[in-house]
């Protein structure tokens, strides 16, 4: 099948293809002071004036902590076969050290039980950016010790849930945690230290390796361990320009090679080490680290939203950096001030991100070649639009339906081209706290009225429910 498939020739998927949706703890749970939970870096960041749109916080979010049974019932109504959620580290281990708080773990036990009762496969992400504040106070991810604390935390959660949860992801988008958190400062903890960001990236890689080893000591061998990367699909503005090709390589190394190099191949790209030598000497890499990071994994999660278009920078151009990662005077790209970012062509989402399904196909095929034989999952893909209920209370979002149809068609095309893509997790199940954008951006397939917490499936949710049930893509005009 191709991206040009029409409703008369439906895009069909393999019978075992997994249809899911995804969320993260701080974006949906709320209950930030209940049952022993202590602040994470996102609690601190969102309560700092000027850091989030409207001063919004995740204190209540969409109150999933109290409404999870209704939310799981809604997932079942939407024919979801899998649900990817993250665990709040500070809910389980409030200081980031020591024994677990069983009340915190009990929430996730109840959630898993509810999912299994409804026939929905749980998929656990251990880290979706909410580091316990006490660990940040001790230095955060730029400190090596944080990776060892993560391994202890992974073992605790693995022991608690590993008998019932078979799908595990250590980290979600470590690029965002390292570079938006420690270089540009638009994400928690809001630091602007390029050398520290590169150290954070290495220690996140180390945490993945140590966490993978820890999980394997306490879980059945049948369980799958992976992580989710948001490697940029980087394109040169002028493919015939050597300078633009160098710029694209630099950003590709900083977004992808810095993670998949050591994780998949046991080494950082030499071009990365050379390009960043003005910022760090990489002395944070100790003997044995690369072997630890290079643990066998059972699958790889890929998150995709939009491609990245770059060129060599014009020294006279002092305009804003249009890389799609929030406004900051500080770049999330260490040692890349000689790179300019450009708006990719095409329609745009509410985030200002270009809609381009060919980028998802390109990403999948890249990792099909990068790691032959490794199963792939699309662990995030979706779009924000300015959704509003109509007079009858319905939420019609044809742009999102079109977005999903195009990107799922690209997934199916990649499968036809030989890629082993096993499933797709829509981002997001429902509207939620969108980090520094607060509640201004709605990525959900389910509309949430934040005042009443009422959930209303949008037309995209109904369309996706049909796709999940039939294993093929319905007419995008038919919902």
> Which residues have a catalytic role annotated?
173, 380
Residues 197 and 370: their CA atoms lie apart, in Å, by 25
Residues 93 and 297: their CA atoms lie apart, in Å, by 25
Tokens standing for 27? 């974006």
Residues 217 and 399: their CA atoms lie apart, in Å, by 45
Residue 57, CB-side half-sphere exposure with 13 Å CA sphere: 16
Residues 244 and 420: their CA atoms lie apart, in Å, by 32
Residues 456 and 52: their CA atoms lie apart, in Å, by 26
The answer to whether 376 and 18 have CB atoms below 8 angstroms apart is no
Sign of CA dihedral 296, 280, 337, 142: positive
Taking the chain, what is the end-to-end CA distance rounded to the nearest angstrom?
22
Tokens standing for 95? 């200081």
The answer to whether 236 and 248 have CB atoms below 8 angstroms apart is yes
Residues 328 and 180: their CA atoms lie apart, in Å, by 10
How many residues does this entry show for the chain?
Answer: 479
């Amino acid at each position: 099948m191709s991206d040009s498939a029409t409703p008369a020739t439906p895009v069909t998927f393999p019978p075992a293809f997994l249809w899911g949706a995804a969320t993260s703890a701080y974006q949906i749970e709320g209950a930030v002071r209940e049952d022993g939970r202590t602040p994470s870096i996102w609690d601190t960041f969102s309560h700092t004036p000027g850091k989030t749109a409207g001063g919004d916080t995740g204190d209540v979010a969409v109150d999933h902590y109290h409404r999870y049974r209704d939310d799981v019932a809604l997932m079942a109504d939407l024919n979801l076969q899998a649900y990817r959620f993250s665990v709040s580290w500070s809910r389980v281990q409030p200081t980031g050290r020591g024994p677990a708080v069983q009340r915190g773990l009990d929430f996730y036990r109840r959630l898993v039980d509810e999912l299994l009762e409804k026939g929905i496969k749980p998929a656990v992400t251990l880290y979706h950016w909410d580091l316990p504040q006490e660990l940040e106070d001790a230095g955060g991810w730029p400190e090596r010790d944080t990776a060892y604390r993560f391994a202890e935390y992974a073992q605790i959660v693995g022991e608690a849930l590993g008998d019932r949860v078979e799908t595990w992801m250590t980290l979600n988008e470590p690029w965002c945690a390292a570079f938006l958190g420690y270089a540009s400062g638009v994400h928690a903890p809001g630091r602007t230290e390029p050398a520290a960001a590169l150290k954070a990236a290495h220690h996140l890689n180390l945490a993945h390796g140590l966490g993978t080893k820890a999980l394997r000591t306490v879980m059945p061998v049948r369980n799958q361990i992976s992580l989710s990367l948001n490697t940029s699909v980087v394109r040169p503005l002028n493919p015939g320009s050597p300078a633009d090709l160098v710029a694209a390589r630099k950003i590709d190394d900083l977004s992808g090679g810095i993670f998949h190099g050591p994780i998949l191949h046991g080494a950082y790209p030499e071009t990365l080490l050379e390009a960043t030598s003005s910022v760090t000497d990489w002395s944070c890499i100790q003997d044995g680290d690369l072997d630890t990071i290079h643990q066998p994994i059972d699958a790889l999660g890929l998150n995709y939203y939009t491609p990245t278009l770059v060129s060599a920078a014009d020294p006279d151009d002092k305009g804003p950096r249009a890389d799609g990662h929030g406004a900051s005077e500080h770049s999330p790209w260490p040692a890349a001030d000689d790179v300019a970012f450009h708006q990719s062509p095409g329609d745009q989402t509410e985030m200002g991100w270009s809609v381009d399904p060919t980028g998802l196909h390109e990403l999948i095929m890249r990792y099909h070649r990068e790691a032959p034989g490794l199963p792939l999952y699309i662990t995030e893909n979706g779009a924000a639009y300015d959704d509003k209920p109509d007079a009858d209370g319905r939420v019609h979002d044809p742009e999102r339906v079109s977005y999903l149809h195009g990107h799922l068609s690209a997934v199916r095309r990649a499968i036809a081209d030989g890629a082993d893509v096993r499933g797709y997790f829509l981002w997001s199940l429902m509207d939620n706290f969108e980090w520094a954008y607060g509640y201004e951006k709605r990525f959900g397939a389910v509309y949430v009225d934040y005042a009443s917490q009422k959930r209303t499936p949008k037309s995209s949710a109904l369309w996706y429910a049909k796709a999940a049930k039939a294993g093929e893509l319905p007419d995008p005009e038919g919902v």
